[in-house]
Amino acid sequence: MDKLKLIKSIVVIITSMLVFGSILLLTLIYKKTQVSVKNQTEYSLQQPNGSSIASVTEVDGNLAILVKGGGLADRIILYTPQTMQTISTLHLQEVNNE
């Protein structure tokens, strides 16, 4: 009888460990798949309506953003993601070689 009681105890312990481990695993998977709202940040480049981003290039840890339209000449905005600030804006003009 003692052997049967020991086997039942082992089965209960192993089953409870499996259930606990499964719940823990599912909880960790759920947390990893959720997008954290705290990490999402919006930043305005403060460009006029109608402006559109033509391309984004990384330069020395900063972003060079080519912006077109909006009633202004094409421009390149140098933006640093670390401080979330615009470093400078370069306005581009066409040159006529006539």
Distance CA 46, CA 93 (A): 20
Q: Where do the H-state alpha helices sit in the chain?
A: 2-33
**CB–CB of 77/84 below 8 Å?**
no
Please give the pLDDT value at position 37: 58
Is the pTM here over 0.85, yes or no?
no
Please give the pLDDT value at position 40: 60
Per-residue pLDDT of the chain (98 residues; tens, 9 = 90+): 789 999 999 999 999 999 999 999 999 999 888 766 555 667 788 889 999 999 999 999 999 999 999 888 899 999 998 888 899 999 888 777 76
